[in-house]
Structure 1
């Protein structure tokens, strides 16, 4: 079995918009111990599309959503029930949708046997509504965040963020997408589940009887599973009915990096990254995504096309194994699609001012930033609201990535190489390869709260849970030196 494809790839995620690669790889295991090898796939199971929640505004003009965290059972592998957690169902959650300017309110109910949270990853909102580890929801309790959507169209997502337990809660199935629309993405495919299709990628390990296997905190990175689910579907197929399809791809895995490419090496266009649309589509044949990252791509299909999307092992320590992910089977007469726009919208570069503050963060091992494990009662950074700063993240060891709550940032450079192509889009999560440094132009919001922190952390969830995380607050400019640097730790949290 020809499992390995040779890749000539840039070390930094996304810096090479086009990467030379040889296809022909087959689905395989992660390369580690594998007691239950994954069988060859025929990619024949219809792709599950998460239900869409897009409620009409009520009499007060508010879109109201309800999410219930619950334990259940799912048939993730054929004929084998698996104990799972989900939102409004046994696994994953519905796709929420809103538009820029909407006022939204979410009622979050926790029926799980332990406390959890719901973090709005990629959403720009007040810290008290962020759903980080300071907004715990106890069993049997509810949490009701409200905010106004004030950011460009983007693919964001939601997931638990309880300190020390995030990896386990996400691995069991608690995650979902939150799509934001505005006038600029109207020219792109937008029929949800038809030509605007979510792809939530997650790798798992299973026991022989179908139970989720392994410890999400084991080893250096946590689980790198030998089976890949797409929207909770194993061995999936999507029937293409239009000439072009917009794929909203989320790396929802705990640790795995995906190097996405089609088996026939067809090229596609990246139209958006974590924080929203690019200035113009970027053509490529390979797309890397580390945990927490999202991208929107537009793929063209000819009548009768049979195309397989894969992830390829490029030698990175968290991209082990070559796997077929999903088959796209095109109709004999797909419906016409509008041409892909040459210009996507009013892209606003994030440009640090002359003399911008530079903050430096060093990643060593997997349990600290700048040599300090997170302390939930310590404020690590105090940032003036509305600031644009440069954050320099130096990684002295193996693979990490870096996520900042609330903000939008752009990659300035990686190990001295300027960002190019889709790597220069707006983001909130960035891959930081081992022995490398990235510099980010970070734009902060304007909502101040010196007593409610946001988080920054590695989004390899085993690392986040081990303490590779810090806290910052946004304050009125000029008050940075007067606000307290400590706060009460949330009940039940360890430092």
Structure 2
């Protein structure tokens, strides 16, 4: 019976066709190579660039105690300040995650990345997720450096105050490097944010949510078999800031929570288990114009959300729990004749799909405990949630150069291969319909298509789409009637009112967004931030031309 199938059993059932699929995917993820037609990596600092902050970040192997017993072997970012404010680098205690880098808008930053990974096959590069940088500073896969080599980033921080992050971006190897621990937060501040008076210091909490699977010796397990590459990795345990079963001890104060979904493919439906609403103050690209309340918040891989968590009226010795509520419709809809409706006991088709793709891991959409907050201290709070935050200059649809003909970005599955506009990633390829003009505003429409005739996910699956090079604004969402049921379970958790660089697109959904292309010419990528999809080729280049 289907409910008894594991991933390996599924592949045996599908036989030679599945093996052919596996061969194609794995061959498509061969080690990255540098194209002779692309610019070569920048390995030396520019004498003409005088940084306000000069850092070195090394990707290294380490051991970290995560579970009782044997330490876990990880890869991690280690940073040092060569010049500038020593407080610009703040470690996350007892974590494999890289340090938090804190900068201010307008600062000139030099960061020398050194690849010290022990595996000679692990080329790497850092992408500054959400930042508006020149193409050569963005971490395109063609700029990878081999172990023992370095890459020098030099750029001016022009972004709004907000929670950004950094992670590896080598084609075909990103998922494994992130699983092993390579990721960190990049926090930008500016005078406008300072003037608001949000919680700071110990009341400003970074929270990186990830999922991992461990073996009996406490080592990370990452099985990049064909099913994982098709569906995405799901781990058995939830980690927050690299720790399982996190409990935050808190005071009766207001907190600013900066939450990143740093998982490879798992999507979260974040909520308080008590039913208390969430107060949202920022999205990917910084603060909103006004605080918003949501019953829950959807957070896909790569997305960030900031919450105002006010505990002043919570009695001492109270424990609160942040959870991911159950939802369906993100994958497996209509597979093998099923409707895709998930019973929340995980006994339906959706639960069977999760069993097939990730063994003992909770399936996508399963209820999960994320963390606990224990109120242990009584303190006086004087901060008040501001009614207004930071103004946002709104793009106008009619100002787009293609206002009546949106640029179509079609997401599809063809021959067991996820594609964008019918294509997969080629290192130096830009199609004619992937060229945009400098100093223009464009309307893009991301369409999550159905996949008739496909053996897996004929109705599609959820994709978090990330566009490099800057931030965009979401202007409209629609969904196919036959897939509306799953969409209805998540739509009230979208926060589309702010700046975004990553957007969750559910099966059958169309998302229209406005993006301005300014300051820099050159080539960037856009891709699915399900990292297994990205590695398997669900990524394309686009080029900005003058």
**Structure-2-length-normalised TM-score:** 0.73
SS class of match (1:336)? coil
Give deviations 1:351-395, integer Å, cap 9, x for gaps. 233462221011112532111111112113121122211111111
In structure 2, relative to structure 1, the CA distance for the partners of 1:263 and 1:419 (3 Å cut) is: closer
Which piece of structure 1 moves more, 305-314 or 100-109?
A: 305-314
SS where residue 199 of structure 1 aligns?
strand
2:322 is equivalent to residue 309 of structure 1 = yes
Q: Deviations over 1:286-327 (max 9, x none)?
A: 111000000111111124132111112212337332221111
Superposition pairs for residues 10-409 of structure 1, below 5 Å? 60=50, 62-88=52-78, 91-112=96-117, 113=119, 114-186=122-194, 187-192=196-201, 194-216=202-224, 218-219=226-227, 220-301=230-311, 302-304=314-316, 305-315=318-328, 316-317=330-331, 319-354=364-399, 356-357=401-402, 358-365=406-413, 366-380=417-431, 381-396=434-449, 397-409=460-472
Q: How far apart in 2 are the matches of 1:216 and 1:243?
A: 44
Closer/same/farther in 2, CA of residues 111 and 303 from structure 1, 3 Å limit: same
CA contact (8 A) 1:402 1:459 kept: yes
Contact 2:438 2:519 survives alignment (8 Å)? yes
Is the alpha carbon distance of 1:369 and 1:475 closer, same or farther for their aligned partners in structure 2, counting shifts above 3 Å?
Answer: same
Aligned residue for 1:334, secondary structure, equals coil
User: 1:93-142 CA deviation, whole Å, 9 max, x = no partner?
Assistant: 00001111111111111101221110000000000000120211211111
- Which structure 2 segments of 5+ residues have no match? 8-48, 80-94, 332-362, 450-459, 481-490
- Given candidates 469, 484, 492, the residue that maps to 2:539 is 469
Name which of structure 1's ranges 358-367 and 253-262 shifts more when overlaid on structure 2: 358-367
Aligned to 2:360: none
Q: Deviations over 1:1-43 (max 9, x none)?
A: xxxxxxxxxxxxxxxxxxxxxxxxxxxxxx9969xxxxxxxxx
* Contact in 1 for aligned 2:77/2:183 (Cα 8 Å): yes
Residue segments in structure 1 that go unaligned for 5+ positions in a row: 1-30, 35-58, 477-495
| Cα offset, 1:211, TM superposition | 1.4
- C-alpha deviation, 1:407, in angstroms: 2.0
CA RMSD of aligned residues (A): 2.3
Task: Name the CA distance, whole Å, in 2 between partners of 1:278 and 1:189.
Answer: 13
Check whether the contact 1:198–1:248 (CA below 8 A) recurs between aligned residues: yes
CA distance in 1, matches of 2:390, 2:138: 27
Change (3 A) 1:312 1:172: same
CA distance in 1, matches of 2:215, 2:237: 12
Secondary structure at the aligned position of 2:290 is classed as strand
TM-score, with structure 1 as normaliser: 0.80
Deviation at 1:416, TM superposition (A): 6.5
Distance 2:461 2:216 in 1: 32
Maintained 8 Å contact 1:412/1:419 = no
| Preserved contact between residue 270 and residue 298 of structure 1 (Cα < 8 Å) | yes
Partner of 2:16: none
Query: Are residues 32 and 151 of structure 1, via their aligned partners in 2, closer, same or farther at CA, if it must alter by over 3 Å?
Result: farther
Q: 1:334 Cα shift?
A: 2.6
Residue aligned with 1:134, SS = helix
Kept in 1, the 8 Å contact 2:250–2:377? The answer is no
Q: Structure 1 residue 283: deviation in Å?
A: 1.1
Structure of higher CA gyration radius? 2
CA deviation map 1:120-169 (0-9, x unaligned): 00000000000120211211111110111112111100000000111111
Q: How far apart are residue 214 of structure 1 and its match?
A: 3.3
Corresponding residue number in structure 2 for 1:442: 515
